[in-house]
């Protein structure tokens, strides 16, 4: 058990953490124990307890009080609060969409492949089988469409700020995806991740040949990279943070010191207490106690 207090962080979309929200949570915190991380956006409430069960009880009561408000609420211990390792999923986490679905849309089978993706991310299909099935449907598609797809790919709000701010404060960052290296390399370069890992498309004569180069990177591989990096960097589990949305992210989310669901699928949401569902990736900084004044939008 930690001998430091627990802290609840409440985050709203910018300028929406107003007096109405504060009035709803006032029965559960003392103003003298609250600290603004960003005015009218994020506030820290230090709990007067070192007991996890007590902290969870207060957290649940506050969640219930705020249920009608579009705000995110997080519970973390003060111990090792600022993480030294960030591992992030890519599709629907760092970027807004599923890049494989977007590629399929370029050739007119987006809905067909998106339906398989949805089932896989909900944990209804074995990830490797679902990946092979989708890539087989893209056999003979021109590899030139990868670049065209990338041109339409957008980062989620706060992605670059999250990576740049953690790097500024000496955290190591990795992008680990069940998607493809063509996209992870570009996203990693744009955001500033130290390293990236994903699956590799097999391409022959500038066309996708309908297969994935083995081995397939799935949920076990994501957990492997979490364990590898904590060991390589000589970190404890508590010093790591992972963020993702789908079923293949669950092992790394549940084994990290802090696992955050980002607009997660139901199977993920039911297993995590810290979920971003109304705000941006900036919340992954607030949850660590960073003030907005400490944020940087890009690496210097």
- Would you please indicate which residues are annotated as catalytic (active-site) residues? 89, 91
State how far the Cα of 198 lies from the Cα of 99, in Å rounded to an integer.
Answer: 12
CA distances from 110 to 71, 116, 137 (A): 32, 10, 11
Backbone angles phi, psi at 81, to 5 degrees: -70, -45
Tracing tokens 């953690």 back to the chain, one arrives at 166
State how far the Cα of 168 lies from the Cα of 113, in Å rounded to an integer.
Answer: 39
DSSP 16: -
State how far the Cα of 185 lies from the Cα of 125, in Å rounded to an integer.
Answer: 27
Contact assessment for residue 157 and residue 280, using Cβ atoms and an 8 Å cutoff: yes
Crossing angle of helices 144-151/181-191, nearest 10°? 40
Residues composing the chain: 300
Beta bridge pairs of residue 8: 45, 75
Contact assessment for residue 138 and residue 204, using Cβ atoms and an 8 Å cutoff: no
E-assigned strand segments in 65-112: 72-77, 85-88
State how far the Cα of 60 lies from the Cα of 29, in Å rounded to an integer.
Answer: 13
The encoded tokens of residue 51 equal 């007991």
């Amino acid at each position: 058990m930690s001998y430091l207090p627990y802290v609840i962080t409440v985050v709203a979309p910018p300028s929406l953490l107003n007096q109405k929200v504060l009035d709803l949570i006032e029965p559960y915190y003392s103003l003298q124990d609250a600290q603004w991380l960003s005015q009218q956006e994020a506030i820290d409430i230090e709990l007067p307890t070192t007991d996890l069960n007590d902290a969870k009880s207060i957290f649940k009561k506050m969640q219930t009080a705020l249920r009608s408000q579009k705000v995110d609420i997080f519970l973390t211990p003060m111990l090792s609060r600022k993480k030294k390792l960030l591992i992030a999923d890519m599709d629907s986490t760092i970027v807004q969409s599923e890049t494989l679905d977007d590629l399929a849309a370029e050739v007119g089978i987006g809905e067909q492949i998106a339906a398989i993706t949805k089932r896989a991310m909900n944990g209804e299909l074995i990830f490797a089988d679902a990946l092979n099935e989708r890539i087989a449907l893209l056999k003979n598609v021109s590899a030139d469409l990868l670049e065209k797809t990338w041109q339409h790919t957008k980062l989620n709000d706060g992605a670059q700020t999250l990576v740049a701010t953690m790097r500024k404060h000496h955290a190591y960052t990795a992008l680990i995806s069940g998607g493809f290296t063509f996209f992870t390399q570009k996203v990693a370069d744009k955001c500033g991740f130290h390293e990236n890992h994903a699956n590799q498309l097999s391409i022959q004569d500038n066309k996708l040949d309908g297969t994935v180069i083995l081995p397939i990177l799935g949920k076990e591989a994501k957990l492997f990279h979490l364990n590898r990096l904590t060991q390589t960097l000589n970190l404890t589990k508590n010093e790591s943070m992972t963020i993702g949305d789908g079923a293949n992210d669950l092992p790394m989310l549940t084994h990290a010191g802090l696992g955050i669901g980002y607009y997660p699928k139901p199977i993920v949401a039911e297993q995590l207490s810290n979920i971003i569902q109304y705000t941006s990736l900036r919340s992954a900084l607030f949850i660590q106690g960073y003030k907005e004044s400490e944020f940087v939008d890009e690496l210097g």
